[in-house]
Amino acid sequence: MKRMFITFIILLFSYQPIWAELVPLNDFQLQNSIGRIDSSPPPSIDETLNVSTQATAQENIALNTASLTDSALNLTEGIELDIKIQARLDITYADNDGLSKNGVSGTAGELVLSGIHIGGSDEAITSDMLKSDAPFSASQLAILNNIKIDVDPLQGMFITVEEMGDNQGNGIDMIINDIYLGNKERSAGGLLIENLSNFIQDKNVARNNDLFGLNLASVDDSKSTLGGNWVPFNMQVLTQSSEGAQAQQQDLSVSQITSSVGLPGFGANTTIDASFALHMDKVAWVDDGGEFGLAGLMVYQGQDSNGDGIDDIIGPAKLTQMKLETITHTNLAGEEVQALYIENLDFKADIAIQSLYVGSPENSLGAIHIKGLDTSGTSVWIYGH
């Protein structure tokens, strides 16, 4: 596969809602930024979409998480990114009429996420960092390596993130200083996500095996990585307009097929497939110096490799053929409204939590294992009121 390789180091800060300011890199950072381009022009549409391709267009459209690989998707070119990033931003959602009762509007209110920080600290997050406007030093950057992006007129957009964080257990950290409900005088506390990573450490696997009587092992990532293995995050986004849906049932021309299937667009149905395994050292609600949280959280899907009925491999959790579209929906009051329709929220996963705690991680209430979470057949309508 020929790709364009680019390395980025980014510092992104914002102190206003939804605004972002790029900060120039210093000489040291520029000297350590590397970019390499290795690509050749792709074949033309006429060369790519020949008669045999038209015959298999339906198969390409129907791809799912079982085939989210470069070879299965027949991808030939794309870009590959290495990113080191640190960011700060605020997000505000405003409800101008508040809670309406009996047709009378209430008082305007806001949901504010203040002080969202993304970075990568090698040390544990301290209470002072949770309250700080600048919790990460300039060198504490979140790392994402080998991000691959490919776009195909029939297969949509394909994204792989091979490495989040490093192989020493240092993942991506996220701190939200305050979450305000109603107005900026009513803080409900903050949120912490510590060391989010797709590097599954052997020590965490062994800990889960001991806690829950499991016999799991991570799959060799072929990288000769000590202490664990990487599980890539894969996602395919395929958009199909109403004409594209007909292309699966009728003999349409190549131009009709390529114009109706591609990237997300207005009035089109978007289908998302994803597969991933993730580990977080901690996800916690933080308030007045205390915490309520989950420590050692791993999301994956166990697999039986030898047919003995016992899961022995840590495979990726899977989101399969989740379709998003905008439709006209009849709400409970009998009114027709425009709604975002999630037609198939099909998510399958196992969840292991090494500790559910209150106050601090030392005050554990015990461990939790959720086996065989399956939301297939679930549909969701989201609309204004």
Task: Report whether pLDDT(144) > 80.
Answer: yes
What local confidence, expressed as pLDDT, does residue 10 receive? 56
Least confidently predicted of 218-222, 270-274, 340-344? 340-344
Does residue 287 sit within a domain?
yes
Task: Report whether pLDDT(84) > 80.
Answer: yes
With bands split at pLDDT 50, 70 and 90, how would you rate the model's confidence at 350? Answer: very high
pLDDT tens figures, 21-33 = 444 555 554 444 4
Does residue 163 sit within a domain?
yes
* Number of domain units in the chain: 2
Q: Which of 151, 175, 197 is the last residue of a domain?
A: 197
Beta bridge partners of 10: 85
pLDDT tens figures, 231-273 = 999 999 998 765 554 454 444 333 333 333 343 433 468 999 9
Residues 128 and 155 in one domain: yes
Residues 208 and 137 in one domain: no
CB 142 within 8 A of CB 82: no
Distance CA 16, CA 318 (A): 36
pLDDT tens figures, 301-322 = 999 999 999 999 999 999 999 9
Does residue 127 sit within a domain?
yes
Structural domain of 336: 200-231+277-385
pLDDT tens figures, 94-133 = 888 777 777 677 788 889 999 999 999 999 999 899 999 9
Task: Report whether pLDDT(373) > 60.
Answer: yes
Residues 227 and 125 in one domain: no
What local confidence, expressed as pLDDT, does residue 99 receive? 74
Better-scored residue on pLDDT, 21 or 347: 347
Does residue 294 sit within a domain?
yes
Q: Which of 176, 197, 218 is the last residue of a domain?
A: 197
Does residue 56 sit within a domain?
no
Residues 296 and 193 in one domain: no
Distance CA 118, CA 121 (A): 10
Does residue 62 sit within a domain?
no
Q: Which of 144, 175, 197 is the last residue of a domain?
A: 197
Residues 187 and 302 in one domain: no
Least confidently predicted of 166-175, 189-198, 225-234, 320-329? 320-329
With bands split at pLDDT 50, 70 and 90, how would you rate the model's confidence at 361? Answer: confident
Residues 204 and 193 in one domain: no
What local confidence, expressed as pLDDT, does residue 106 receive? 77
pTM of the predicted protein model: 0.77
With bands split at pLDDT 50, 70 and 90, how would you rate the model's confidence at 6? Answer: low
Residues 85 and 224 in one domain: no
Residues 191 and 210 in one domain: no
Residues 191 and 215 in one domain: no
Least confidently predicted of 4-18, 183-197, 201-215, 298-312? 4-18
With bands split at pLDDT 50, 70 and 90, how would you rate the model's confidence at 327? Answer: confident
Least confidently predicted of 108-112, 152-156, 223-227, 262-266? 262-266
Residues 26 and 168 in one domain: yes
3-state SS of 332-361 is: CCCCEEEEEEECCCCEEEEEEEEEEEEECC
Better-scored residue on pLDDT, 349 or 288: 349
Does residue 211 sit within a domain?
yes
Mean pLDDT value across the chain? 79
Does residue 55 sit within a domain?
no
Residues 209 and 89 in one domain: no
Beta bridge partners of 161: 147, 233
Residues 102 and 186 in one domain: yes
